[in-house]
Structure 1
Amino acid sequence: MDEQRRRRCGMPRGWRGPAWWRQGPAWWRHGPAGLRRWEEQTGEGGLPWISTLALGVFVQLGTTFAAEGQVDYRADVDLYARALLLIGSVLLLWRHRQPVPVVFGVAASTMVYLGAGYPYGPVFFSVALGVFAAIVAGHRRAAWSAVGTLWLGHLLIGHWLYRYLPPSGDGPTSWSDELVVATWVVAMAAVAELVRLRREQWARERAERAKAAKRRADEERLRIARELHDVLAHSLSVINVQAGVGLALLDGDPEQARTALTTIKSASKEALGEVRQVLDTLRGPGDAPRAPAPGLDRLPELVTQAASAGLTVDVDTEGPRATLPPGADLAAFRIVQEALTNVVRHSGSRHARVRVRYDDEALELRVDDDGPASHADAGGSGNGLAGMRERAAALGGTIEAGPRPDGGFRVRALLPRRPEENTP
């Protein structure tokens, strides 16, 4: 419908009809459940006995009724005709396993049946089902070759070989009858092609849904692994340092050793709480977390924990503090946490500086230490910087980490204030 006709009918500009008209019903877009179950059952090696038996009975009975109107110019239906009809029906039992031999076999039996002068009728339904099975299975060239051969054979029989074939005294077939046969052949092949296309679309949609589900599961698994790494790496680093202090002072300064053990208890309790919060997300889909995710409002806690590990942290905030989206707030907290953990583990400096700068477009985080590197085995997994980069990339931000020109190490993160998260 052109634009002028739309306006005369009172339709808005650009109107293309309702969505249900353009897209079709849900069963057409995704496939009927019964058809999918039937395809799965017959595709596992079983023979389609029920449908083949129903078609065979229909062809036999339908041919009997069709023959009553063709007694003047077609041969009578005898045992030989019944045998040819039965052969065409029985061959269809293997249409899913061997679609190419079946479609040629059914076409050949039908051609012999027509060449013998037997009545027209439901015999073409056997050909239609064989062609349908071959095209749906992807053997389009074989299916079209079989129906093309059948039609050419019908032309030869109807316009030349009829002189030598029964029934006696038969004349040439009218071209209108040939047109009906050709229309029937093209129609059944076109329907099979349409079903094949829809079936391929259903298969693609199922594969895409499975791929999307796997991608979501992988992303969720990565997120949980990243959370556990950040929580455990920081807390265990504090525990490791304090355990060393406690062992060194156990005999000489019991009171200081007691303080170290108290710090270990506090750090382990907090780590257990955060690990429980992360694992709560595995309880079931849709369950809400029992505690809010940490954010930059808990930055003083990080400073206190770092101090208990012997690290002095100075925090400098620039710009008016703004409320961040939960994902960005959590990522900022974890990045600072991981950066301070790396200072405790890998730096010989006992002093670090954290700068948090807010502006209109982004949040900048910078963590500096004065170094040098301790070169001691810290027992880490080596995934800290990779985890920080993944968090920043998921929000559309960036991470820069490396040695400073004047010594020490710097981690600089830039996170958008309105991130577009890639995680579900």
Structure 2
Amino acid sequence: MRTRNIEEWRRPGPTAAQRRTDLWIGLGVAAGAVLNLFLSRSFGMLHTEDAPARIEQIAWALGTTLPLIWRRSRPDAAAIVMSALFIGGQFRGAQEQQVASYALFAAIYTLGAWGPVRHRARNLRLVIIAAMFVWLTVAFVMSWDEIVGDGFDGASGELPALWALVFNLYIVNVVFFVAVYLMGDSAWQAARRLDTVESQAAQLRAAQAAAAERAVIDERVRIARELHDVVAHHVSVMGIQASACRRALDKDPARARTALTAIEEGARTAVDELRRMLGALRASGATAEAATSGVDRIPQIADSARETGLTVHFAVFGDPVPLPDSVSQAAYRIAQEAVTNTLKHARATTLDIRLRYLSSEVELDVSDDGNADKSDKSGGMGLIGMRERVAVHDGVLENGPRSGGGYRVRVRLPHTAVPKEAMAGETT
């Protein structure tokens, strides 16, 4: 699977800047080949009895170098054209040797580094290299008479002249062709690794952006939930008190004043809660948790409900233990939301709030004698908030109509009691 993925990878094509660079390189190399051709003609290197005309020699020099302009955009075609013209120019005895050879090596290297289809680039390079060695052998055989004639006059080396020539021709070419072949593969592998790294970096940036977006959404949900918990309860209480004040304003001014006082206190409490909540949102870590409300404030919820005219029973069972701040806050917010639903929807006359400390759980039980159908339809964001808070702590939420009438919300939140010594240490 890994090999298949490597073979299927396609190197991105050259950029506009790289194509412009190739244009200038191709023109520059072609100019160098023509100049070297003139230099070679000037000292008689290409002068033979059947030498082609000068214009043909210039055409061969340009044909074997100008395709470098397309070496990265069309590496297959450039390598094929240049190798074919290189052999053709040598066959005609008009080939400029030095610059054309380097240009051919550059074309083979580029085919290995930029070939769009990997197996085709590999096979095509092998065919071109094999053709070059075939032509080298053919040219050697064609020049045999000249070589064995007076070609070795003055040879004074330690090795036989003929074998020294053969090894020199083949070994030098083998070294050059193997080098450009391997360099092309190495460049292609480097480009693939770079593309993989860039792709992984892009995926990492996308994952980080998605995580940041999720964090923002989670924070918005948290803020919305906190605002709902803080505002809904107190506004509901103030609405009920305002209704009682309106009904008693003419008949019982004293009762109306009491309701107005309760509204004033509820508004002040709501503002304090909002400030406390905003402070917790601005803070982080333990500072934020410490700024939240906990089970010790559930009696205040009972008092607020009592001020609306409900008969409220509040009781604590078991030995109270210090709770983790997150569990304490969750219990407080669930109690607040359950009481708010009772005030807004249930039309109840009696409310029962019980807090039980069990061995490894804290249980909150809020029940009323109101209209269970209306209370059950009031899920909305409040019930969603309850479920989320319970799910975070791996707790259990039970809500629904009671068998004897009314509605009940019961929550069990697992916890590990915080040692009193640790609590004392935090407050000192």
TM-score where L is the length of structure 2: 0.68
Instruction: State how far apart, in whole Å, the 1-side matches of 2:395 and 2:244 are.
Output: 38
Q: Alignment RMSD, CA only?
A: 4.0
SS in 2 for 1:315: strand
> Structure 1 unaligned runs (5+)?
1-42, 93-101, 132-141, 420-424
On the 8 A contact 2:282/2:288 being kept in 1, the answer is: no
Structure 2 counterparts to residues 24-423 of structure 1, below 5 A = 47-49=15-17, 51=18, 78-88=61-71, 92=72, 102=73, 105-117=74-86, 118-120=100-102, 121-124=105-108, 126-127=110-111, 130-131=114-115, 142-160=116-134, 179-280=178-279, 292-373=291-372, 375=374, 382-418=380-416
Q: Quote the offset at 1:182 in angstroms.
A: 3.9
Instruction: State how far apart, in whole Å, the 2-side matches of 1:237 and 1:362 are.
Output: 30
Match of 1:26 in 2: none
Instruction: State how far apart, in whole Å, the 1-side matches of 2:27 and 2:108 are.
Output: 12
Instruction: State how far apart, in whole Å, the 2-side matches of 1:351 and 1:363 are.
Output: 23
Q: Quote the offset at 1:150 in angstroms.
A: 3.1
On the 8 A contact 1:348/1:374 being kept in 2, the answer is: no
> Structure 2 unaligned runs (5+)?
1-11, 46-56, 87-99, 145-168, 418-428
Instruction: State how far apart, in whole Å, the 1-side matches of 2:370 and 2:376 are.
Output: 16
SS in 2 for 1:184: helix
Instruction: State how far apart, in whole Å, the 2-side matches of 1:308 and 1:107 are.
Output: 89
Given residue 111 of structure 1, which amino acid in structure 2 is its aligned partner? I
Instruction: State how far apart, in whole Å, the 2-side matches of 1:269 and 1:213 are.
Output: 36
Q: Quote the offset at 1:294 in angstroms.
A: 0.6
Q: Quote the offset at 1:254 in angstroms.
A: 1.0
TM-score where L is the length of structure 1: 0.69
Instruction: State how far apart, in whole Å, the 2-side matches of 1:85 and 1:109 are.
Output: 7
Q: Deviations over 1:187-239 (max 9, x none)?
A: 23322332232222212211211111111111111111111111122111101
Q: Quote the offset at 1:52 in angstroms.
A: 5.0
On the 8 A contact 1:370/1:409 being kept in 2, the answer is: yes
SS in 1 for 2:323: coil
SS in 2 for 1:383: helix
Moved more, 216-225 or 280-289: 280-289
Query: Which structure features the higher share of helix residues?
Result: 2
Match of 2:93 in 1: none
Larger Rg: 2
Given residue 333 of structure 2, which amino acid in structure 1 is its aligned partner? R
Instruction: State how far apart, in whole Å, the 1-side matches of 2:326 and 2:294 are.
Output: 9
Given residue 250 of structure 1, which amino acid in structure 2 is its aligned partner? L
Q: 1:254 to 1:348 in 2, by over 3 A?
A: same
Count of aligned pairs = 344
